A and B are shown apart, each in its own frame.
Chain A
């Protein structure tokens, strides 16, 4: 019994479905749209440090090389809404970075500290109380400077009645 108590002393296990995603204002999306309830999965990239190795006689020594090798991208999968509002917003946001017709590119700069093409995205783990209210815990992943590098990709299927799922893959500046 002591062992059982010890296991739960640090709290219950984190559950994969208890999380929330909050976006900075998504360009081309007017008003609050409940993206949160449409998100099905979020992929947090593993934090990776680079290494180098050398030999000294029979020894093989591996040391950190000071390079951060964490993938500079993460993905969010969501159910597309009936009017494709979210999909359109992400698609237009991407088109505003590189215009697919003219080939023009928006400069990756900020005005008064606010980027014109990038937004912050915060993913919080937490728990839901009995009322269904989300209570965030201390584990928060804050992605700064996010931009949609890959939007959509899905298959329309006459023989399926399942909700249409698609993903947006974001590039970002930093993850904290």
Chain B
């Protein structure tokens, strides 16, 4: 039997990252991300009475969320709240306008979801035990998805509880105009 188990390894689901491409704060947020979802475009199909299947319409990428551990400076909330405030004025209860379309597009977030795979083993074979040092980085990008022109929807409510023993989590919901992929 063909050696299907080792020819190409399976993509492990834990090896991913999400970064915000048009933000300087990405490195600070990257390590705080707990979970996210990549939404996809779907085609709706209907079955006619004759049994014939026909294309009906398109379901665009649904809203998705990113859940992050909050820092004790509330940097996560502040970052997304600032982004949210670019579009909506909560004091005046009004949507904000932008000077130009370019200005508007620049304020929408572009996200990159990257999956990683191993590129080599942690150290060379046959070099003996003495003096071997583990390589710092043995992973390479395997595939990336891009969520383009994301608009903010808002935060999930925060549940306050005294019996929690984990870090505070913030969930921000948003929706992407388009999701693309790139090797």
Instruction: Please report A residues at the B interface, Cβ cutoff 8 Å.
Output: 56, 61, 63, 65-67, 107, 138
Q: Is the CB of A67 within 8 A of B10?
A: no
Q: Is the CB of A63 within 8 A of B10?
A: yes
- Using an 8 Å CB-CB cutoff, how does the interface string of B1-33 with A read, 1 for contact, 0 for none? 000110001101011000000000000000000
Q: Is the CB of B5 within 8 A of A66?
A: no
Task: Tell me the bound Cα distance from A138 to B132 in angstroms.
Answer: 12
Interface size on B, residues (CB 8 A): 9
Q: Is the CB of B130 within 8 A of A67?
A: no
Q: Is the CB of A67 within 8 A of B4?
A: no
Task: Tell me the bound Cα distance from A66 to B138 in angstroms.
Answer: 12
Interface residues of chain A: helix, strand, loop or mixed (majority): strand
Instruction: Please report B residues at the A interface, Cβ cutoff 8 Å.
Output: 4-5, 9-10, 12, 14-15, 72, 130
CB-nearest residue of chain B to A108 = B72
- Distance in Å: Cβ of A116 to nearest Cβ of chain B: 14
CB-nearest residue of chain A to B118 = A66
Q: Is the CB of A66 within 8 A of B72?
A: no
- Distance in Å: Cβ of B103 to nearest Cβ of chain A: 38
Task: Tell me the bound Cα distance from A107 to B130 in angstroms.
Answer: 39
CB-nearest residue of chain B to A57 = B1
Known: A61-B5, A63-B10, A107-B72. A138 touches B15 (CB 8 A): no
Query: For A66, what are the chain B residues with a Cβ–Cβ distance below 8 Å?
Result: 12, 14-15
Instruction: Name which of A61, A65, A66, A138 has the most chain B CB atoms within 10 A of its CB.
Output: A66
Interface residues of chain B: helix, strand, loop or mixed (majority): loop
- Distance in Å: Cβ of B18 to nearest Cβ of chain A: 18
A-B contact pairs, 14 of them (CB 8 A): A56-B4, A56-B5, A61-B5, A63-B5, A63-B9, A63-B10, A65-B12, A65-B14, A66-B12, A66-B14, A66-B15, A67-B14, A107-B72, A138-B130
Task: Tell me the bound Cα distance from A58 to B27 in angstroms.
Answer: 45
- Distance in Å: Cβ of B35 to nearest Cβ of chain A: 16
Query: For A67, what are the chain B residues with a Cβ–Cβ distance below 8 Å?
Result: 14
CB-nearest residue of chain A to B72 = A107
CB-nearest residue of chain A to B139 = A66
- Distance in Å: Cβ of A49 to nearest Cβ of chain B: 12
Query: For A65, what are the chain B residues with a Cβ–Cβ distance below 8 Å?
Result: 12, 14
Query: For B15, what are the chain A residues with a Cβ–Cβ distance below 8 Å?
Result: 66
Closest 7 CB pairs of A and B: A66-B12, A61-B5, A65-B12, A66-B14, A66-B15, A107-B72, A67-B14
Task: Tell me the bound Cα distance from A65 to B9 in angstroms.
Answer: 11
Query: For A63, what are the chain B residues with a Cβ–Cβ distance below 8 Å?
Result: 5, 9-10
- Distance in Å: Cβ of A63 to nearest Cβ of chain B: 7
Query: For B4, what are the chain A residues with a Cβ–Cβ distance below 8 Å?
Result: 56
Query: For A61, what are the chain B residues with a Cβ–Cβ distance below 8 Å?
Result: 5
CB-nearest residue of chain A to B130 = A138
Task: Tell me the bound Cα distance from A66 to B4 in angstroms.
Answer: 19
